[in-house]
Amino acid sequence: MLEKNRLLKASSWGVSLLLALPILAIFITSFGQTDDLFSHLLASVMGTYTSNTLLLVSGVVVLSLLMGVPSAWLMASFRVPGDRVLQWALVLPLAIPGYIVGYIYTDWFDFAGPVQIYLRDVMGWQSASEYWFPDIRTLPGACFVLALVLHPYIYLLARTAFMEQSRTMTHTARLLGCSPLHSFLRVSFPLARPAVAVGASLVAMETLGDFGTVHFFAVNTLTTAVYDTWLGYSNLNAAAKISAFMLLAIFLLISGERYSRRKQKLFSQSAAPDQVEKEILTGWKKVVAAVWCWGLFILAFAAPMAQLVFYAVDYISDSSFTDFVQYSINSVYISSIAACIALFIAILVNIYPRFRGSSLSKVPNRISSLGYAVPGTVLAIGVLIPLTSADHIVNFIAVKFDMGRPGLLFSGTMFALIAAFVVRFSAVAIGSVESSLSKISPSLDMAARTMGCNARLTFSRVQLPLIRRGCLIAALLVFIESMKELNASLLLRPFNFETLATYVFNYASDEQLEYAGMPAILLVLVGLIPLILINRSLEQTHK
């Protein structure tokens, strides 16, 4: 028994350290010798890249707050026409990749797009010099598109926070003469601030790691700097330095968010089911609320999705069905492997503290979850560094023993891509398995041990059957996230290997998304699955 516990401990710590190795590799490489390229970038364009990144993150967060918080408050507190549909429909924009929405809106609002053509026909304008129209392919345009896609992070967390608030507080504010708006500003929003802050930090991290949208909008950020430095200049050292700077920015962002509410404490009883009575809106307030919520849903999801369906139907004869099938198989294959490995890791790092019980035993769990906060482009750098070293070692040993030169066994194959998926999305599986295990009473474990079951039998006969649903959800979430991942796929895929995400992005970057309508729709449909699961869980919690 002692030997098995030691094996479980060693395996848990070993796996967690392997998952943290890419992050450590980035910092170690960044302290290497500074070359001329990085000095040139630092003196010429890094200031612009940094300022663009700060403006982009700030703009997306502000717009996401303006979109997500009011809609969350309306859905949680008022009866809006169609609110039973809206409460889950407002989450759906998360399923559409930002670069797809960016392409569609650019196609609509460019000079040659249908909107400006219609305005010129109606108003009699002949050229662009006769009128002014906002340029969509700019930094503000990228902020708007990313906010449309990412604001559901804030909506989900803020809506949950508003629904959990005790109605006695808002009722008291109303009795004291506050209008619904004043009650929101003075009571509801301050109580929901921690959840809103977490949602804003998620939006900021997703924006910081976005590559597809900013690349399409020609907005140079630190993420595009990493991509161009690596692939354009073939300089891994300089790319690692920029990546380390981004990791530091993410660390400061998370630390700042937590520090800002370090003294904030909330002692409030959650609203009971019978307390959650939504106010019925009438008159112009009802119209404004309906237009706001339904308009946001149409702009962020319904209209882009309708355009994708039109592309798929209208250009079906020009699309390559063979390529679509092959790239779908590629995506399913590597995503399934990543999901299985991530699930195994999640079970391992969660079972160890379950049997050990000490605070130190929870450290591997936390270490294994670090990769989720790292943007895919940066993580690709971190994965490539140790894998390249491993390839050099293997080739050196093979040559030493006259076995030939095997080549790139790790960094040049699907191994690198799967490793990146596992490092980045293991946190998703770990959280799901941890939540399922926490619902199992320790008394069941004790009863199994008193009946002679060791740790292995206790897990296989007691715990595993009870967490089976959580394990399936964990594997499904990792599978779906891996299917949609673009940044790491672009940088780590083997030659002549495409996934659905890279296939759609290549057409979008060539401004030919209409030929990839079916793969784009499949990506969106795959992304809907976790959103449906999350929304159903939220509804069951507050019934």
Name the average pLDDT for the chain.
82
Same domain as 204, residue 69: yes
Same domain as 403, residue 292: no
Please report the pLDDT score of residue 270 as a whole number: 47
- Domain holding 125, by residue range, is 54-220+281-313+512-543
Give the closest residue to 74 by CA, choosing from 175, 176, 170, 181. 181
Same domain as 444, residue 326: yes
Same domain as 414, residue 361: yes
Same domain as 460, residue 524: no
Same domain as 172, residue 204: yes
In order, the DSSP letters of 215-267 are HHTT---HHHHHHIIIIIT--HHHHHHHHHHHHHHHHHHHHHHHHHTTT----
Domain assignment present for 523: yes
Domain assignment present for 506: no
Residue 472 belongs to domain with CATH number = 1.10.3720.10
Contacts of 388 (CB under 8 A, 6+ apart): 236, 410, 411
Number of structural domains, the chain? 2
Same domain as 163, residue 79: yes
Same domain as 366, residue 473: yes
Domain assignment present for 172: yes
Contacts of 417 (CB under 8 A, 6+ apart): 334, 488, 489, 492, 493, 494
Taking only the tens of pLDDT, the chain with its 543 residues reads: 444 567 777 888 888 888 889 888 888 887 766 567 778 788 888 889 999 999 999 999 999 999 999 998 888 888 888 888 888 888 888 888 888 999 999 989 988 888 888 888 888 888 777 888 888 889 999 999 999 999 988 998 888 888 777 666 666 666 666 766 667 767 777 777 778 888 888 888 889 888 889 988 989 998 888 888 877 777 778 888 888 888 887 777 777 766 665 555 554 444 444 445 677 777 888 899 899 999 999 999 999 999 999 988 888 777 777 888 888 889 989 999 999 999 999 888 888 777 766 667 778 878 888 888 788 888 888 898 899 888 889 888 888 887 878 888 888 888 999 999 999 888 888 887 887 777 777 777 677 777 777 667 777 777 778 888 778 878 887 888 888 888 888 888 888 888 988 988 888 888 888 888 888 888 888 877 777 766 666 555 555
Domain assignment present for 398: yes
Domain assignment present for 243: no
Please report the pLDDT score of residue 3 as a whole number: 45
Helix (H) or strand (E) holding 279: strand 279-280
Same domain as 90, residue 201: yes
Q: What pLDDT, in 10s, does the model give residues 96-105?
A: 888 899 999 9
What is the rounded distance in angstroms from the CA atom of residue 46 to the CA atom of residue 225?
8
Please report the pLDDT score of residue 539 as a whole number: 58
Structure-token pair, residue 439: 């619902």
Burial of 356 (0-12, 13-18, 19+ CB in 10 A): middle
Do residues 522 and 96 touch, judged by C-beta distance below 8 A?
A: no
What is the rounded distance in angstroms from the CA atom of residue 279 to the CA atom of residue 277?
6
Do residues 426 and 419 touch, judged by C-beta distance below 8 A?
A: no
What's the pTM? 0.82
In order, the DSSP letters of 419-436 are HHHHHHHHHHHHHHHHHH
Domain assignment present for 187: yes
Domain assignment present for 502: no
Collapse the DSSP code of 282 into the 3-class scheme (helix H, G, I; strand E, B; otherwise coil) and give the result: coil
Q: C-alpha distances in angstroms, 210 versus 224, 324, 377? A: 9, 24, 8
Same domain as 291, residue 207: yes
In order, the DSSP letters of 138-159 are SHHHHHHHHHHHHHHHHHHHHH
Domain assignment present for 454: yes
Q: C-alpha distances in angstroms, 287 versus 90, 282, 283? A: 18, 8, 7
Please report the pLDDT score of residue 275 as a whole number: 47
Same domain as 489, residue 409: yes
Give the closest residue to 491 by CA, choosing from 236, 218, 249, 242. 236
Same domain as 181, residue 292: yes
